[in-house]
Amino acid sequence: MTDLDDLRQHLLVAVEASAGLDALEAVRVDALGKQGRVTQLLKTLGGMTPEERQAQGPAIHALREAVTGAIASRKAHLEQAALEAQLASERVDMTLPAEVPLAGTVHPVSQVMDELAEIFADLGFAVASGPELETDWHNFGALNIPETHPARAMHDTFYLAGSGGGDPNDRETPRVLRTHTSPVQIRTMLQQKPPIRIIAPGRTYRSDSDATHTPMFHQVEGLVIDKGITLGHLKWTLETFLKAFFERDDIVLRLRPSYFPFTEPSAEVDVGYTLEKGKRVIGGSGGGWMEVLGSGMVHPKVIAACGLDPNEWQGFAFGCGIDRLAMLKYGMDDLRAFFDGDIRWLKHYGFASLDVPTLSGGVGA
């Protein structure tokens, strides 16, 4: 008991002598931290006999309460003193004009990218990225797009100056601004062993410019490579993604047979919509169908080009425009406004910087 009294006196003196909050925190850790002296005494109670615990337990608990109370009282005193010192040293000139902070907003494209990353992370997908200046092989050759394919025409694609010739299978020299984020899929399959589950969002470039097309736009593509992958896995993934993105359970999909060089079979994915006050709203199918993305099973030639055995590994891929997703969800009607930099448009359609998308809180909150 004498030792407890000495410890109590020592700690109370240390608390009272603390000149600042940092010094007081050091005393608290020394007494009540995980390895503190009072904490160690409390831990000894478990190994005592009932008689010893009955004799010493109340004294040890009283020591803890006394130290805790002293620390709380000293902390309140120090905080009050610090506040008074701050108030005494600061002066505000009330005649000066008020400073209005500039409140920035998150661009809808950035917001949708965050939403996509959140949704697909919940489905087990990682986010992959790659260079925007690509080689002919990564952008076309590895994706089963031959030299005679229209996508390689100069009027469809931005080539770098002096890159018109050379070996189309050159895997080192950048020759073209990527026309899709599919090269990221190729690079991932070359660098990573299956199973693979990624999305590849980013900027892409094509020679288009009108109300619904811009020379630079944003695209997200998804890739899954594993064993036993089927169209059923693809359809379920797309349904789950679109339900989470549009925050509606009545999403109805229609897969139409299509053609892409890098998938076989290929399908355009339409989503049903309804008409509300003359506007198309995603959900249901009473109003018709709207194409939102392309998809399909990864072509065996693409898998083989990446050094994998298509008899062992299968996969699916899909892709859609991020700008178009933003237009459909948030009611924009002109893609060109996304890149005009009009502050009025950004204030109207922008998102508060602290509105972080979460599945539990609603990605569109």
End-to-end Cα spacing for the chain: 60
Q: 168, 144, 178, 154: which is closest to 300 by C-alpha?
A: 144
* Per-residue pLDDT at 362: 41
* Per-residue pLDDT at 363: 42
Distance CA 175, CA 133 (A): 7
Q: 296, 293, 289, 281: which is closest to 252 by C-alpha?
A: 289
* Per-residue pLDDT at 101: 62
Q: 225, 219, 220: which is closest to 188 by C-alpha?
A: 225
CA angle at 350 for the pair 348 and 351, rounded to the nearest 5°: 125
* Per-residue pLDDT at 358: 46
Q: What is the pLDDT along the chain (365 residues), one digit of tens a residue?
A: 568 888 888 888 898 998 888 899 998 898 888 888 888 888 888 888 888 888 888 888 888 899 899 999 999 999 998 888 888 887 777 787 766 666 678 888 988 999 999 999 999 999 999 999 999 899 999 999 988 888 888 778 888 876 555 566 677 777 899 999 999 999 999 999 999 999 999 999 988 776 667 788 899 999 999 999 999 999 999 999 999 999 889 999 999 999 999 999 999 999 999 888 878 888 887 888 999 999 999 999 999 999 999 999 999 999 999 998 998 888 887 778 888 888 888 888 888 766 655 444 444 43
Interhelix angle for 108-122 vs 322-330, to 10°?
100
Cβ-contact 160, 174 below 8 angstroms: yes
* Per-residue pLDDT at 359: 45
Distance CA 146, CA 66 (A): 82
* Per-residue pLDDT at 6: 83
The answer for residues whose C-beta is within 8 angstroms of residue 313's C-beta and 6 or more apart is: 194, 225, 226, 227, 303
| Bond from prior residue into 194 cis (ω within 30 degrees of 0) | no
Which helix (H) or strand (E) segment is 218 a member of? strand 216-226
Distance CA 45, CA 59 (A): 11
Distance CA 271, CA 250 (A): 10
Distance CA 303, CA 310 (A): 6
* Per-residue pLDDT at 128: 95
* Per-residue pLDDT at 163: 57
* Per-residue pLDDT at 191: 93
The structure tokens listed for 174 are 């950048």
The answer for residues whose C-beta is within 8 angstroms of residue 356's C-beta and 6 or more apart is: 114
